[in-house]
Amino acid sequence: MNINKDRIVAEFRSLVEIDSESLNEREMADILKVMLGDLGFEVEEDDAGSKINGNAGNIYAYLKGDPSRPSILLSGHMDTVKPGIGKEAILHDDGKITSKGDTVLGGDDLTGVVGILEGIRLALDSEKPVGDIEILFSVCEEIYGKGAAIADYDKIKSKIAYALDLSGAPGEAAIKAPSIVSFTSIINGKAAHSGFEPEKGVHALKAAANAISKIQLGHVPGDMTVNVGTISAGKANNIVPEVCVSTGEVRGFDHEKVLEKVAEIESMFREEAMAIGATAEFSHEVNIMAFNISEDEEVCTRFKTACANLGLPGNLVSTHGGSDNAFFVEKGIRGIVLSCGMYNVHSVDEYTYADDLVMNAKLVSELLTV
């Protein structure tokens, strides 16, 4: 079976029309289960949705293959970021596919999902032997991979995995990604009327601001990034803020150094709170663990061979983004993250190309049969 570009574009556009923001992947899950069943897969849905307050679980699918061939796990995610309600994929004359401009396109991650589906069709229709194929279509990847974090890895037998979830044209793969640790600081001060007796208040926002002013943000030594993303304080303009809540994250390729940086940030908030007579609460959560796959491992050499057969560059790179692959590696599955033709993701300017959708499918087929 040869790839029919019109068919794969039509499938992509059809899936784009499904509303599937994080925690609301129900309709997408139902349709993908049918599509996987039509391909001959045994399909299961887990209870991740109930555990994370969503309306759908992760989809695991299995297709038995040639036992002499390696088993391979293919992965994509079903959710999109906001604004993702009422999406529509517009195909332009040059093959570029965009949204209408008021929502994301959903190419993150439907370029990957469609590439997996069509690539499997190609592989199964070829005369080449194919090993066992396992699929994990996760929920809530866009919220620090909460779906993949609680998937049932006892089901998965593959030792290598390809997650199609990286920006850029097909032919590149991330073999290194950071730990992502989020933090929350709560400064507790004292309220007072700001016009009559401000001296009786303890300005929680001031303590937080003083701490944040001392935190180096952006790229910091040690190949890390630090960000304070939200600040919430105060009830009215004439009240000294009693409570200030600040949240942020640290990313870095060395997990221990990331934790050290988070501890340093905690000290700053506590010191600045104490300096004005306030108190501080601080907590952090390890959302994603760093991974680093060696270029000479099978998952990489297979990728490079497949790319060479298709005339693709086969570049192996690092990324500062998070993905479900971090959880695979943590569970002993050697995985890498493939670029799949999504661009300007997490914005209403997101786009892909019809030719990228075709190449994704060819690459997946090659990975299964090489």
pLDDT in tens, 120-163: 999 999 989 999 999 999 999 999 999 999 999 999 999 999 99
What's the pLDDT score for residue 99?
98
Domain match, 58 and 88 both: yes
What's the pLDDT score for residue 167?
98
Convert 14-49 to b/e letters by CB count within 10 Å (16 or more is b): ebbebbbbbbbbbebbeebbeebeebebebebbebb
Domain count, the chain: 2
Domain match, 161 and 244 both: no
Regions of the chain where pLDDT drops below 50: none
Whether 224 contacts 252, CB under 8 Å = yes
Query: Which CATH number goes with the domain that contains 162?
Result: 3.40.630.10
From CA 190, how far away is CA 64, in angstroms rounded? 64
Domain match, 70 and 169 both: yes
Domain match, 28 and 163 both: yes
- Beta carbons within 8 Å of 216's beta carbon, 6+ residues apart: 226
Query: Which CATH number goes with the domain that contains 221?
Result: 3.30.70.360
Domain match, 51 and 145 both: yes
Domain match, 21 and 115 both: yes
Domain boundary among 256, 288, 320: 288
Domain match, 31 and 173 both: yes
Q: Which domain holds residue 357?
A: 5-177+290-369
What's the pLDDT score for residue 222?
87
Whether 150 contacts 52, CB under 8 Å = yes
- Supply the pTM of this predicted model: 0.94
Domain match, 212 and 167 both: no
From CA 145, how far away is CA 149, in angstroms rounded? 6
What's the pLDDT score for residue 4?
87
- Residue pointed to by tokens 């997946």: 364
| ω into 83 cis (within 30 of 0) | yes
Domain match, 169 and 239 both: no
Domain match, 309 and 334 both: yes
Whether 90 contacts 99, CB under 8 Å = yes
Domain boundary among 288, 306, 321: 288
CA-to-CA dists, residue 278 to 101, 211, 236, 238, 282, angstroms:
46, 13, 19, 19, 13
CA-to-CA dists, residue 170 to 61, 161, 185, 338, 362, angstroms:
24, 16, 40, 7, 10
Convert 205-225 to b/e letters by CB count within 10 Å (16 or more is b): bbbbbbbbeebeeeeeeeebb
- Residue pointed to by tokens 């570009």: 5
What's the pLDDT score for residue 127?
86
Domain match, 128 and 34 both: yes
Q: How many CB atoms lie within 10 A of CB 195?
A: 9
Domain boundary among 273, 288, 303: 288
Domain match, 15 and 142 both: yes
- Name the phi and psi angles at 246, rounded to 5: -125, 140
